[in-house]
């Protein structure tokens, strides 16, 4: 998702920077009602974009922690995985979560989407998957077996026995919904007798017992791109549950969990690891074989390398699963102070110490560790 030219969240919702949560919620409700794609059939792409934008703004500004991050750092502060919002496909679910407590609201949309006896989109499915660090790094093609509801072919998903047809639901008079008056509001509920379809089956399909769907195990092939991280969500279009009454299927979301590596620490696409070197190696310089992501790498420790020095191998980090460039690989040098000296070693160090003078005064304040980064060439 492009973060380049995003509008200010307060501007999106038309509220002041000091607006209270209730005010933000009210502003969002208004925007959502106005821009919900179901209510703008003649201008769907624009409505969907506006709806998405206001939902994103709402999800940030209604969360105290995220709002604070946004107030302090703007959009850039939210681009990390934990604070950012990934609306990839679940926008209507997020929307549902937000408005679950607005009476009548949810049903209003679901019924408008269902319509009278119209087909409905199937439910999205979530599948959690754990990958090793190596699998996540290299990408992997795998297969998963999912128990799921499949469209019943015997009745074309209608649930009615072949040739028996359907009748209008008597509970709701075929409207698919029931309306109640409560104060100022008319609360519309999905009819429980016909689940909003407005139709009742005369005789059930024997194959699916009137469900229109049958539970089967399906094998789905997954291609996981290299560089994915914990929390990455992959969408497999059309592999969710089938829609009732022959409606289109939902999507499958594969949510990834990536195990940690024993010594590579991951920050985005960059990798960090610590390499211990001995005092003589640091003082005299040396060349080391160090583990990289794809086999060993050469790491040249220059003469007089200090503890804490950081070397960078450009482009040797993880891939960007969205197809961008590669991250870098950082080696952090730690000079080990010898312990448990033999008598002879102690004597040598004492001799060395006598000829090495250091002023034990406070050193100048150190700026960021990245000032010490040295790129490794060749």
Shortest Å, Cβ 114 to Zn ion:
11
Element spanning 114, H or E = helix 105-114
Shortest Å, Cβ 176 to Zn ion:
6
194 vs 319 by CB, closer to Zn ion = 194
- For residue 42, the 8-state DSSP code is G
Per-residue DSSP letters for 187-200? EEEE-TTTTTSSEE
What do you get for the CA distance between the two ends of the chain, in Å? 35
- Collapsing DSSP to helix, strand or coil, 247 comes out as coil
Q: Is 154 in the site for Zn ion (CB under 5 A)?
A: yes
Q: Is 207 in the site for Zn ion (CB under 5 A)?
A: yes
Rounded (10°) angle between helices 44-61 and 64-73: 100
Determine contact, residues 213/229, Cβ cutoff 8 Å.
Answer: no
Q: Which stretch binds Zn ion (CB under 5 A): 201-209, 233-241, 294-302, 308-316?
A: 201-209
60, 85, 166, 172: which one contacts Zn ion (CB under 5 A)?
Answer: 172
Backbone angles phi, psi at 253, to 5 degrees: -110, 125
152, 301, 319, 329: which one contacts Zn ion (CB under 5 A)?
Answer: 152
Q: Is 258 in the site for Zn ion (CB under 5 A)?
A: no
Q: Is 228 in the site for Zn ion (CB under 5 A)?
A: no
Q: Which stretch binds Zn ion (CB under 5 A): 65-73, 193-201, 238-246, 247-255?
A: 193-201
Q: Is 220 in the site for Zn ion (CB under 5 A)?
A: no
129, 169, 252, 301: which one contacts Zn ion (CB under 5 A)?
Answer: 169
176 vs 327 by CB, closer to Zn ion = 176
Element spanning 201, H or E = strand 199-201
Determine contact, residues 296/290, Cβ cutoff 8 Å.
Answer: yes
- Which residues contact Zn ion (rule: CB under 5 A)? 152, 154-155, 169, 171-172, 191, 193-194, 205, 207-208
């Amino acid at each position: 998702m492009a973060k380049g030219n995003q509008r200010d969240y307060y501007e999106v919702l038309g509220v002041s920077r000091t607006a209270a949560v209730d005010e933000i919620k009210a502003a969002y409700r208004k925007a959502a009602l106005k821009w919900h794609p179901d209510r703008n059939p003649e201008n769907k792409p624009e409505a969907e974009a506006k709806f998405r934008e206001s939902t994103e703004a709402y999800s940030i500004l209604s969360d105290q922690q995220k709002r604070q991050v946004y107030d302090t750092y703007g959009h850039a502060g939210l681009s990390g995985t934990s604070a950012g919002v990934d609306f990839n496909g679940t926008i209507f679910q997020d929307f549902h979560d937000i408005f679950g407590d607005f009476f009548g609201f949810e049903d209003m949309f679901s019924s408008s989407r269902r319509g009278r006896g119209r087909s409905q989109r199937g439910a999205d499915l979530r599948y959690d998957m754990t990958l090793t660090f190596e699998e996540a790094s290299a990408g992997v093609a795998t297969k998963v077996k999912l128990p799921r509801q499949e469209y019943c072919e015997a009745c074309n998903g209608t649930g009615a026995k072949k040739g028996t047809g359907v009748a209008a639901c008597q509970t709701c008079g075929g409207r698919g919904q029931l309306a109640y008056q409560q104060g100022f509001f008319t609360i519309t509920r999905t009819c429980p007798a016909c689940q909003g379809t407005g139709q009742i089956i005369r005789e059930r399909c024997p194959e699916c017992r009137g469900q229109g769907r049958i539970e089967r195990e399906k094998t789905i092939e997954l291609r996981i791109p290299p560089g994915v991280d914990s929390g990455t969500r992959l969408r497999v279009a059309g592999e969710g549950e089938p829609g009732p009454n022959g409606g289109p299927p939902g999507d499958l979301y594969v949510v990834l969990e990536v195990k940690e590596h024993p010594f590579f620490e991951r920050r985005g696409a960059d990798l960090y690891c610590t390499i211990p070197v001995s005092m003589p190696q640091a003082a005299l310089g040396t060349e080391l074989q160090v583990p990289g992501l794809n086999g060993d790498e050469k790491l040249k420790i220059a003469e007089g390398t200090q503890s804490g020095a950081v070397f960078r191998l450009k482009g040797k980090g993880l891939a960007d699963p969205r197809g961008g460039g590669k991250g870098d690989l950082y080696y952090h040098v730690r000079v080990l102070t010898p312990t448990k000296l033999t008598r002879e070693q102690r004597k040598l160090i004492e001799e060395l110490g006598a000829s090495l003078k250091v002023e034990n005064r406070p050193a100048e304040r150190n700026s960021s560790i990245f000032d010490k980064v040295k790129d490794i060439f060749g």
